[in-house]
Chains A and B, each alone.
Chain A
Amino acid sequence: MEMYARITQRIRGYDDQDIGLTLLSGGIAAFILLPLIWLLIRSTYVDISRAREVLFRPTTAQIFINSILLVILVTTLSLLIGVPLAVLTVQTDLPFRRFWTIAVALPLVIPSYIGAFAYMSGFGPNGVIANVLSPLGIETVPAVVGLSGTVLVLTLFTYPYVFLTTRAALLSFNSTLLEAARSLNHSRWSAFRNVTLPRILPGIAAGALLVALYTLSDFGTPAIMRYDVFTRIIYVEYGAYGKDFAALLSVQLVVITTVILAIESQLEVPESTNQATLTNRKARQSLGIWKYPATIYCLVVVTLALLLPLGILFYWLFHGSAGITGTEFSIEYAVNSVYVSGLAAIVAVLAAIPVAYHSARNNSLISRLFERATYIGYAVPGVVIGLALVSFGLQYAQFLYQTIPLLIFAYIVRFLPQAVGTIRTSTLQMDPALIDAARSLGHSSVSTFRRVTLPLIGPGVIAGGALVFLTTMKELPATLMLGPIGFETIVTYIWIVQKSGYYGKAAIPALILVAISGLSMVVLLARGDFRGQQ
């Protein structure tokens, strides 16, 4: 009887607007999957016997194990770093809280191949650090290579995903519950585990998923650290004119991604966790004496993930070869970077809101499917997406080939899930009764969305837009392949000088990259904070 009531309620609730939202959300998902369909088609062109050889040789199993191991380790470590940092900066009276909020999010903007290069050249028996420290009598600095090196570098530059999504979830979280739990004599840890954690879990999971999939798609770090993963053989094939095989291998990557997405779906808390209200009160817990170790912890993370790599780049600026005059950095590159990244962030947020909202509100199979579908492009290396869109542009839309719109589309295919994940999390935390209330008070659905929903999911929208902006700022392969002729960004410039061996020349643009991203983060995170404090 109760079940019958629920079903009829569900059917009645499925009004025209819901159908419109379903169609919109499905359309966006289909659009995002377009380049991946090309991959599937392309991969059927391969020579079957060679494909069998490539897929079933013993090293494939090793590469599979390596890739999975890397994903598990990086994701776990990112959680261990990102979640405590989010809790410290949102829920406690950590000294210089706002500063730390921005500083610990910033490593996200350092392209992982720059970070990996810095760590590789910085450590080791004759590395930069050994050179700098040798007057102090420190001669042996261990090298950072292999699995441990890859895990270290990827963790340091991806944990901000967990930090930012967890932070967004915490900001939407009503801390009066926490106070209630504490007043009922729960210990700090018990209150966190029983009250806070279940409610921010979707946010944590969204961040963990982004870390896992980014790890799967990253090429630069494992290549520099000499660790064999899937992306490396994809690049080898592609470099040897085997683009069909590159496509086939990418399909393998897509399969793994699908498995990860399915696992993550199982982990999630299906029950509604609606907490956010417009009168969300943010009482901060006092850290007391613990503020010293907490500050040191933040300092250590920022040193390893931000100061050290930048410092090593600056060492190269002063000790590396000067390069050839003419390879000077132009401010126009920075303007280009900000322009395409800003566009990508806006388009991504606009595309993500319907998908995320639909998925969070109707917890149906189809809405989940649409939402999950947007994640797949994220785990495919940028070069493969670029390849697919070059083919697509040349065959079906030549007027779009080597134009900004197609480049933005590539960014959206790769980075949309970052916005979908954070917005969905915020939507899940919102109490639907508020919407019903607004509607019953005579507000139109648009007006309700603008005046009730949007403010409530604001932190998620801002975090999502910020994530897309920051990752687009550092995106390289698609920018190289799809940018208009003569279009240079900060990162394509860095690529050029690094390829030429002028590592020192990467220092200034890398710093500009961090500075611009840092500034936008100040604006975006400050607004998020303000919203949370209202």
Chain B
Amino acid sequence: MSPSDESSGNRTYTRRNILETSALAGLGSLAGCTSLYSDQTGAQISLSDFRGSGPLVSGRQPPGGVSMEEMPDLSGTLTLYLGGGERGLYVRLFDLLREKYPEFTLLTNTGPSTRLAQTIIQEYQSNALQGDVFLPVDAGALGVVAAAGATQKLPDSILTKVPRKFRGDNGQWTGLEGRVRSIPYNTNKFDESDIPNDIFAFPDTSALKGTMGWAPTYGAFQAFITAMRILNGPSKTKEWLREMMNYGVQRYGNEYFVASAVADGAIGAGFANHYYALRVQNARPDAPLKLAFTTDDAGSLVNVSGACVLAGTQQESLAQNFIRHLLSSEAQEFFATVTKGYPLIKGVAPLGNLPTIRQLNPPEFDLTKLKNLQKTIDLMREVGVL
């Protein structure tokens, strides 16, 4: 990557320069991933178990932060409400925890994040909460549950691990893994210089006209529009949506399909969370697909998957300890290398092809406000996007 790219703030990370950087970084750190961690009670689990594989991973520095070894053992039965399809992604992490702690039993109830949030609120209001921990993929769902009073404050020892902007008001929840809004684009059709670094510049960029795609019914997209509505006001947001529609943007059912359509060349670029492009790339390494990011606007919003302890749980200390484990160096390394998200604790870097959150320069935004989804839906409906 050239220095001018970095200073202009318009960063696009090619596969090639990732390989170069990670090859350099890898020389000094091979030892880090082979060191074995042992535990008296459970199986021997090494850091490499928590890591993904591939060239981007093998050269990584050992993660910073606090290791699971320094945390109390997990023991007892915990019921987790797990939002999104993330169980498919996090299951390996949970399996490792089970292997490491034979005394630990984890039961999960899975469903879309907003649906689980509503179920939790209903359960809470009927005094029949079933779960101990809620782990959705969207900060808005955590905000909704917290606003209903169904959460309890996390201890400061957990909260201080994560930057303030990735936590809830009054310490009601904490982020675990970041996900960034991005512009996946087809490299056969566009260069990185064709992609604007200002979200509001898209409707004026004639090169992209009629070639873009989005998924307006998808939660992550609606969170992005919620952020735009709050950051820039409803009228500017409506105008942007209208202009994009006139611009001939195509609609998809979810953002994986958007990233996939970009890779296929069916569209030239789209709006999607960053990891969808990485997953498409994982499936089709030769796909002509790269990511671009906007700067300091809703287009580069960093949302989080996060966790809260549910009010009235009988398993308070286990629930807290579980969340603490998800913020350990091993779990954060897992989020970085396996699910390809953004680790949120100090000392663990995102995958080599991704800019750091600091480099991204995302907008200042209170994630709890993402819970005000209904106004966003009304706005999107008014302009006819929904």
Contact = CB atoms under 8 A, between A and B. Distances in A.
Contacts of A120: 257
A321 B283 contact: yes
B109 A327 contact: no
A485 B79 contact: yes
Q: Is the interface of B mostly helix, strand, loop or mixed?
A: helix
Contacts of A95: none
Interface in A233-266: 233, 235-243
Contacts of B84: 499
B31 interface: no
Interface stretch (B32-40, B117-125, B345-353): B117-125
B107 A324 contact: no
Contacts of A53: 378
Contacts of B264: 124-127
Interface string A285-300: 0000000000000000
A320 B283 contact: yes
Contact of B256 (A124, A241, A324, A501): A501
A398 B107 CA distance: 20
B310 to A, nearest CB: 13
Interface string B101-128: 0000001111110110111001101101
A124 B263 CA distance: 13
B228 interface: no
B265 A50 contact: no
B128 A324 contact: no
Interface stretch (B16-24, B199-207, B241-249, B369-377): B369-377
Nearest to B109: A485
Contact of A485 (B92, B130, B376): B130
- Contact-size category for B: 35 or more
A126 B265 contact: yes
A498 B88 CA distance: 8
Given A53-B378, A495-B85, 10 more contacts: A124-B264, A235-B217, A239-B217, A240-B376, A241-B117, A320-B283, A324-B92, A485-B108, A499-B88, A501-B276
B217 A223 contact: yes
A481 B115 CA distance: 8
Contact of B85 (A127, A321, A499): A499
A135 interface: no
Given A240-B377, A394-B123, A323 B253 contact: no
A169 B21 CA distance: 70
A124 B266 contact: yes
A240 B110 contact: no
Given A223-B217, A241-B114, A241-B373, A126 B79 contact: no
Interface residues of A, number: 58
A462 interface: no
Interface in B13-69: none
Among all A-B residue pairs, the 4 with the closest Cβ atoms:
A499-B85, A500-B88, A126-B264, A326-B92
A236 B215 CA distance: 12
A391 interface: yes
Nearest to A326: B92
A321 B279 contact: yes
Contacts of A233: 386
Contacts of A59: 381, 384
B1 interface: no
A385 to B, nearest CB: 13
A226 B386 CA distance: 11
Nearest to A235: B217
Given A125-B266, A241-B373, A324-B88, A236 B386 contact: yes
B52 to A, nearest CB: 8
Contacts of A402: 109, 130
B373 A240 contact: yes
A398 B377 CA distance: 33
B321 interface: no
B107 A226 contact: no
A240 B374 contact: yes
Given A239-B219, A240-B376, A390-B122, A325 B107 contact: no
A485 B265 CA distance: 42
Contacts of B125: 394
B365 interface: no
Contacts of B128: 394, 398, 401
